[in-house]
Structure 1
Amino acid sequence: MADEVNTLVQQAPQDIQAEQATLGSVLISTDPADTLAEINAIVEPDDFFQTRHRLIYRAMLTLDENLRPIDVLTLIEQLNIMNQLENAGGEAYLAELAVAVPIARNAPVYADIVKQKALRRRLIDLLANGTEESYTDMKSVEDLISELSSGLDAIETGANDADFERIGDVVTDAFDRIELNAKADGTVVGLASGYPALDNMTTGFGGGQVIIIAARPGLGKTAFALNILKNVAVENPTLPVAYFSLEMSAVDLVDRMLAAEGNVHSKHIRTGQLTDEEWTSLTVAMSSLGNTKIYMDASSNIRVSEIRSKLRRLVKREGKLGLVIIDYLQLIEGTGNESRQQQVSAISRAIKNMAMELDVPIIALSQLSRGVESRDDKRPRMSDLRESGSIEQDADIVAFLYRDDYYQRDNDNTESLQDPRHEEADVGDMEVILEKNRRGERGTAHVLFVKSYNKFSSVDYTHDDSNPFG
């Protein structure tokens, strides 16, 4: 008796009657092609448990692709062409399928049962393989977790394939969104960055968007991203925001934010040599940031699947998520043996999928290639994105950072080996060049960069010649 129970417990999830009813519904339908199209939106051949049912379904799909009618006779012919008639159960079994259907119009219901059983089998296989590999030392724990996470993502994607949306429903949703936006002050209907010149062009960051901010090393992209994070968090203290840094510690990041929030010299924070006034400002900054919901992760080796898992746990704990920043894209670990460009392309697409799934804007920082250094005009272009792959295709916004003083050279001493950036002015103009903007205009926003504070501020520009940033 115990053996019989164990056998039942170990039996793979399946519903043979549902498989038969799914296939039989096509054979007795008044419009077999239409019924097959309904089923094909739900199941694929490998979803069927029995080999003969997979063969029959593939034969049906082949007939449909060749615009041939689907019935018992044409199925027999097609399976003969495939040399699979006997493996599919023979002519007698095909005839039986036609009478194995309770109600043909319930074909999508039968197909969904088949799909659910298939997903359960895949889940069992995935967890069994993970369990087996966990007993060996062939792979690291991090790799095992990443593979399991990716496998679970694939199963979940298969369980939630989107179908058509009727335009009437979409129009209603669009009207509700427009009505809500109409109640907002000004033109910023998404998450404001804290820089009006930029927000007026983007209308704010929206859920599902991927925003690429790219610049050459040392130009200030991390500082700019941290300022956006700080602005959002301080303005919305109950809104959780997350920052993933793959090259700096959480302490270093916090030091930078404290300097920016408190207008305290960053070197003084590092050395602890603060004036009385700076100590007061630092205390106020600590209180301001301490009341926010900023979450930081400084894992140096991380994959997109791990980022997604951590964010999903954060959403489950907090109930919502306002903004995610990843610093920076090229440091995320890839999987497989593909070229680095192919890996970055896969990473970029995974980040876009993650943004849409979590309905959160994701800012991903990116490096630029050295090609920009060889041009007279140092302003970046799309082609300068390092290991770009499909970054520009996946991104909703691509912004480049540019500072004249970063490339300033002393024309009177061209042979000097000293980097002139070491002596650059403490305050300078930063151009935020929107090269791509799906929801708004392209153009350039100007912000003021105070380097000693790691702080960016908005500046009102005029066309007065006396304005050094005009």
Structure 2
Amino acid sequence: MQIPTPYNIEAEQQILGALLVRDEIYHDIAAEVGGEDFYDRTHAALFRTINLLVDTGKRVNAAIVLDFLQADDKGVRVKPDYIEVLMDAVIDLGDTIHYAKQVRDLARRRRWIDAAVDGITRIGRLDPLMSAQLVIDEADVQILNSSKVDVSAVRTIGEWAQLATSRAIAALDRPSAETNGIKWGLTAVDNVAGPLLPGKLGVVGGRPGSGKSALVGQAAEKFGTQAPGYIQSLEMDGEEWAIRSMSQHLDIPAWRIEHARINIADAEQLDTTARELRRLPVWIDKSPRMDIEKIRARAIRYKHKFGIKWMIVDHIHIIEPSFKRQERSDITAKAAEELKKIAKELGIAVIALAQMNKEVRSRDDGRPRSGDLMFYSSIEPHADWIIFTHRPEIAHAERKPDMTNPDSLDVKKWQDKMALLEGKAEIINGKRRGGKAYQTQECQFIGETMRFRDLGLKELPLSAAEEMARW
């Protein structure tokens, strides 16, 4: 099957002609299109030459471009007459941005076609006994990674200030997740981590049983009422997330739902809750054994398909290596770096769950610190905020005394403290770039339904630094 190659020579000519006539518009054009996006080899060589001139601080005109045009572009040569043709082809300089976007989109389509054809060809050549899934996944990554996210990255400080002011004024009349951030639904967490903001990477850490998955699962439902998002679940099945959510909704222990220990009234409530949850724009991808490139491809796909504003990865330490014989610390560092890039490029908030080192168990109170994150030095540089879930009763339970004599003083003291700590939980601040934050906020944890509850705390206002950083 012959697939026509998408391109537009006239649009490429309009762009180059406009740059030769007025080089002041170069940065606006370069924000939309690059030399690799031009279909015609001569046009690609001309654009690269103009880029070289601008980068070296030189003016752009026909004579200088011809002098500087390099012969290393596989022998490309441009005649002076063609430069004049390009300049004469310009109809309206105001349309140049439109042509740049068109050329970029056509280049993207060519890359998609190439990746798809290459994937189909490779699948066709596979041994019939081999699985084609790996090749399909690789082609999927190539196709989705060929997309360029439209980002106006360079502005003056005055332009950024004007943009922030305009958004703030608009928020007075139309408050939304875009202007105020996405709230957690728990004042304790909002006070420590702040609302989710586009372009930010956050990390939720905690020892096993501390409730980190329960916290983000509970929050995901609240996030979904404000903006669409998705969970990349590398550890739990999608059904487990749903069972936890329904358990929290109905105060029915999750184990009863999972093992069908319910009555007719419970069944009716579960059916109603499931119907309500179906209306939430929250997607769960339970695909196992994902490397960071596949996760990035999924994020791009869901951004385009569903318009996601947030993303949760559970969890960062079980992301697969991109190639064999890769150290776990290197895998984690690459994953953290790429998750931050995903947040910035797609304009979404990203939350990654993380495990803790064993050192946290050696402390009497078992309270986690930033350095307790597994491969902390690989994660911290890329994280905008880090919080920890802590349940003191878990740490105290590990210090259970010898129960040979249940009436001993040590046993009684231990039991009294366990009763005192039951249901208590803390949200601990490990890091927060900009913005005011309490170090620790207490809350309640209901173990049977794995749900966090506030203790009547007041919400903190956002700081000026965080307002500026948001945009």
One-letter code aligned to 2:148: T
2:138 counterpart (147, 151, 175): 147
Match of 1:171 in 2: 165
Aligned partners of 1:193 and 1:231 also within 8 Å: yes
Match of 1:304 in 2: 295
Partners of 1:450 and 1:430 in 2: CA distance: 9
Aligned partners of 1:239 and 1:322 also within 8 Å: yes
Shift of 1:289: 5.1
2:121 counterpart (132, 139, 149): 132
Aligned partners of 1:21 and 1:100 also within 8 Å: yes
Q: Deviations over 1:114-147 (max 9, x none)?
A: 4344333323212221221221337854434433
One-letter code aligned to 1:451: G
Q: 1:61 to 1:239 in 2, by over 3 A?
A: closer
Shift of 1:48: 3.0
Q: 1:259 to 1:115 in 2, by over 3 A?
A: closer
Aligned partners of 2:192 and 2:428 also within 8 Å: no
Is 2:55 the partner of 1:55? no
Aligned partners of 2:71 and 2:77 also within 8 Å: no
Match of 1:247 in 2: 235
Partners of 2:86 and 2:309 in 1: CA distance: 52
How does 1:32-431 map onto structure 2 within 5 Å? 32=23, 34-79=24-69, 82-84=70-72, 87-89=75-77, 93-102=79-88, 104=90, 106=93, 108=97, 111-112=100-101, 114-137=103-126, 140-157=131-148, 160-162=150-152, 164=154, 166-167=159-160, 168-181=162-175, 190-202=181-193, 204-206=195-197, 209-229=200-220, 236=225, 242-265=230-253, 284=269, 287-288=272-273, 290-293=275-278, 296-302=284-290, 303-305=294-296, 307-308=298-299, 311-312=302-303, 315=306, 324-336=311-323, 339-352=327-340, 361-374=349-362, 378-388=366-376, 391-408=379-396, 410=399, 413=402, 427-431=422-426
Q: 1:141 to 1:357 in 2, by over 3 A?
A: farther
Q: 1:193 to 1:21 in 2, by over 3 A?
A: closer
Partners of 1:270 and 1:435 in 2: CA distance: 34
Shift of 1:450: 3.1
Partners of 1:14 and 1:239 in 2: CA distance: 36
Aligned partners of 1:195 and 1:447 also within 8 Å: no
One-letter code aligned to 1:446: E
Aligned partners of 1:304 and 1:350 also within 8 Å: no
Partners of 1:86 and 1:437 in 2: CA distance: 50
Q: Deviations over 1:158-191 (max 9, x none)?
A: 6x3436564545422221124444x99xxx9554
**What secondary structure does 1:456 align onto?**
strand
**What secondary structure does 1:175 align onto?**
helix
Aligned CA RMSD, in angstroms, stands at 4.5
Q: Deviations over 1:259-283 (max 9, x none)?
A: 4444445566666667x8xx86676
Partners of 1:189 and 1:100 in 2: CA distance: 47
One-letter code aligned to 2:120: T
One-letter code aligned to 1:370: K
Match of 1:432 in 2: 427
Q: 1:396 to 1:140 in 2, by over 3 A?
A: farther
Shift of 1:214: 0.7
Match of 1:466 in 2: none
Aligned partners of 2:116 and 2:143 also within 8 Å: no
Partners of 2:174 and 2:369 in 1: CA distance: 36
Partners of 2:390 and 2:196 in 1: CA distance: 21
**What secondary structure does 1:399 align onto?**
strand
Shift of 1:286: 5.9
Overall identity of the aligned pairs, in %: 22
Aligned partners of 1:146 and 1:305 also within 8 Å: no
Shift of 1:400: 0.8
Partners of 1:459 and 1:281 in 2: CA distance: 28
Aligned partners of 2:234 and 2:318 also within 8 Å: yes
Match of 2:463 in 1: none
Partners of 2:239 and 2:3 in 1: CA distance: 51
Aligned partners of 2:202 and 2:350 also within 8 Å: yes
One-letter code aligned to 2:317: Q
Aligned partners of 1:301 and 1:333 also within 8 Å: yes
One-letter code aligned to 2:318: L
Aligned partners of 2:111 and 2:143 also within 8 Å: no
Q: 1:110 to 1:98 in 2, by over 3 A?
A: farther
Question: More deviation in 203-212 or 324-333?
Answer: 203-212
Partners of 2:142 and 2:119 in 1: CA distance: 10
Count of residues in correspondence between the two structures: 429
TM-score relative to the length of structure 2: 0.71
Partners of 2:393 and 2:383 in 1: CA distance: 28
Q: Deviations over 1:50-81 (max 9, x none)?
A: 434433433333333333444455445434xx
Shift of 1:445: 1.4
Aligned partners of 2:206 and 2:356 also within 8 Å: yes
Q: Deviations over 1:309-368 (max 9, x none)?
A: 6745873xxxx7686543222223353456544443444455456556776654432112
Aligned partners of 2:31 and 2:152 also within 8 Å: no
